[in-house]
Amino acid sequence: MAASSLFSLKGKVAVIIGSASGIGEAVAMACGRYGAEVHCLDANGPGAEESAKRIRSEGVTAHWECLDIRDAEAVHHSFDRIVVCSGQIDIVVCTPSVNVRKSILAYTTDEFDRVVSVNLKGSFYVLQAAGRHMTARGSGNIILFSSIRSQVVEPGQSVYAATKAGIVQMVRTAAAEFGPSGVRVNAVAPGVVETPLTSPIKADQDWYDAYASKSILGRWAEAEEMVGPVLFLASEAASYVTGTVLFADGGWTAVDGRFQPPGV
């Protein structure tokens, strides 16, 4: 099979959650360019509408909808409407996350609930709604977003890290449960990416530089650099890949320390 066919999404219906900005926006645009009909979903309705308009301007069918993934009923209703509208759902990518960087002793109950509600509960609701339709149809694939924080942490990352580790285990379990029905489930785990979520870090030059120096490549990622990993997992090129976590972290989790011993 030609490489162009392996990565083609022609004839597919892709639902991209978090498509108003950052990684989700970049992924939504790329899915359209690779031939998919795209549904742009985001809690930021105007942002999702703008992404859909940009996709349509390139001659691709695109729709938009305001969706808060913390609302389980709304998530299920949204997926039901998409199936009525487009007849099927082939690809689901869920990118939204929030983080409250505080020590464990300083965390409030409301902050804990906020992070867990978006990152873990929201991802679960999406996984459940997508899985219900895809297993019934006998095909499809779901891509959730984890993080390097599922593996390595620093002070102030307790709840965020816990949710990202939880996503990994949800993905593995869903892959085991949905796989017999022909549905693949995977996760992408970025390192530091320039998105609205990381804007507080970018505003602090010392913090920004420290994160840049931690990766092997010595820099942050652009949101567009997450497109390749997602398109791979969404396409037939990854037809035998399920239950896995693809780290797109510039080598962050591969290295232990930055000192180069003499003579190396």
Q: CB–CB of 99/78 below 8 Å?
A: no
Signed CA dihedral, 70, 76, 77, 79: sign only: positive
Catalytic residue flag (residue 211):
no
Q: Select which of 34, 107, 125, 160 is catalytic.
A: 160
Give the contacts of 208 (CB within 8 A, at least 6 positions apart).
201, 202, 220
Give the contacts of 138 (CB within 8 A, at least 6 positions apart).
181, 182, 183
* Integer angstrom CA distances of residue 242 from 129, 184, 188, 234: 18, 5, 12, 11
Candidates 114, 207, 71, 97; CA nearest to 149 is 97
Give 215: exposed, middle or buried? Use CB within 10 Å, 0-12, 13-18, 19+. buried
Q: For residue 188, what are the β-bridge partners?
A: 145, 246
The catalytic residue positions are 160
